[in-house]
Structure 1
Amino acid sequence: MDQFREKRAIRSRILANRATLGAAERRTLGAALRDRALALPEVAHAGCVACYVSVGSEPDTRELLTALYERGVRVLLPVLLPDLDLDWGVYAGEGSLTAGGRGLLEPAGDRLGVSGVAAADVVLVPAVAVDRRGMRLGRGGGSYDRALTRVPPGRLVAALLYDGELVESVPALPHDQPVGAAITPSGVHRFDARG
């Protein structure tokens, strides 16, 4: 099986599993992820965190965004561009989100440009799966792979996942960017993949 088909197969299996989770279970797991993320020393000491607004069956980030914002952390959120690259804007609370393309929510207000992510002390990214090397499998558009090339070395990049989505191996192509950690409701898994 070629790498593209293998990625599609893994993605399909995990997304089907996610679809079985009810809204209450997603909220409970999202609260556990929030607590795990906030307990990380890098997050606890961060002045600026890049994150994302979860959609659908993704691990819920709403409570995490609120907690970071209420702590006075500058939170950067992605804005999907037509070429699938990511611009960035500043989160100003739940009421500041507007509808973006592809059913996503994005911050209203000024844009920081595609290099805006470089200002983040910690970058929390979505993923469908992460393997034991820290290789991340996303949705297939390459948006975060491009964005992560702009994150300075030494900054924590962590994927938010459900338990069971940390897998033995995902196919890696030359453009795929690793993460330094995976955060699941049951724990934090660190890798030597970044920085």
Structure 2
Amino acid sequence: MIADLGNEKRALRAELRQRRRTRTTTERDADSAALTATLQRFAEERQVTSLALYLSASDEPNVRPFLNWAFAHDIRVLLPVTREDGLLDWAVGDGERDRGDLRHARGRRRGPVPDRHQRRRRDPRPAAAVGHDGVRMGWGRGYYDKTLGSMAKRPPVYAVIFDAEYLDEVPREPHDEPVDGIITPSRIITFRS
């Protein structure tokens, strides 16, 4: 049964990867602008002063314009850094990025900083898809599931995904951690409060 779930996840991940690769520049640009607006609305409505987010790769939902907005509005942004034990640490960003690395322009190191070679080797990727029940499926490395599962008390967790990655259901294994909601280019959905 677990092997079947693993095969289901692999097949779904391959389909999602293919969809992401075939997106046109026009689609990417439109989703980037819409996602930035949705993330800004989310932050403003909830009066967010601190949040954790990822540095997006070219095939992922583009959060970089939102990160620039967050830094300009003095929102504290934490970015994920992988650890040897499979969990995540968080580095405080300040908006200065060079080739995807974190740099601290003020000259103060405020937490672990991902070196560009480490990030290329094991970059924690955001969600691949989320089901209507809040089950999050990642890309198979388990960083987020392990980290979220290890937290006794955690803040609300929203997965940032493309609209087409909000599915009726995704395969769920015992270690998969649900999320509290999703943010897509067109909407914000909260599963539990």
- Structure 1 unaligned segments of length 5 or more: list them: 99-104, 114-124
Structure 2 residue aligned with 1:188: 188
TM-score by length of 2: 0.80
1:47 equivalent among 41, 46, 49: 49
TM-score by length of 1: 0.79
Give 1:147 shift. Answer: 2.1
Task: Give the root-mean-square deviation of aligned CA atoms.
Answer: 2.3
Letter of the 2:191 counterpart: F
Letter of the 1:107 counterpart: L
Structure 2 residue aligned with 1:121: none
Q: What's the % identity of the aligned pairs?
A: 35
Offset from partner CA, 1:70-92 (integer Å, 9 cap, x none): 11001000112344421210111
Structure 1 residue aligned with 2:76: 74
- Structure 2 unaligned segments of length 5 or more: list them: 104-108, 114-124
Please state which structure has a larger fraction of its residues in strand. Answer: 1
* In structure 2, distance between residues paired with 1:172 and 1:29: 28
Residues 1:43 and 1:87: Cα distance change in structure 2 (over 3 Å): farther
Give 1:163 shift. Answer: 1.4
Q: How many residues align?
A: 174
Offset from partner CA, 1:162-191 (integer Å, 9 cap, x none): 111111111111211111111111211221
* In structure 1, distance between residues paired with 2:128 and 2:6: 15
Q: Which runs of 4+ in 1 moved over 3 A?
A: 41-44
Structure 1 residue aligned with 2:153: 152
* In structure 2, distance between residues paired with 1:70 and 1:138: 30
Give 1:107 shift. Answer: 2.5
Structure 2 residue aligned with 1:37: 39
- Equivalent position SS for 1:147: helix
Equivalent runs, 1:116-195 vs 2, <5 Å: 126-149=126-149, 150=151, 152-153=153-154, 155-192=155-192
CA contact (8 A) 1:127 1:160 kept: yes
* In structure 2, distance between residues paired with 1:41 and 1:86: 23
CA contact (8 A) 1:78 1:106 kept: no
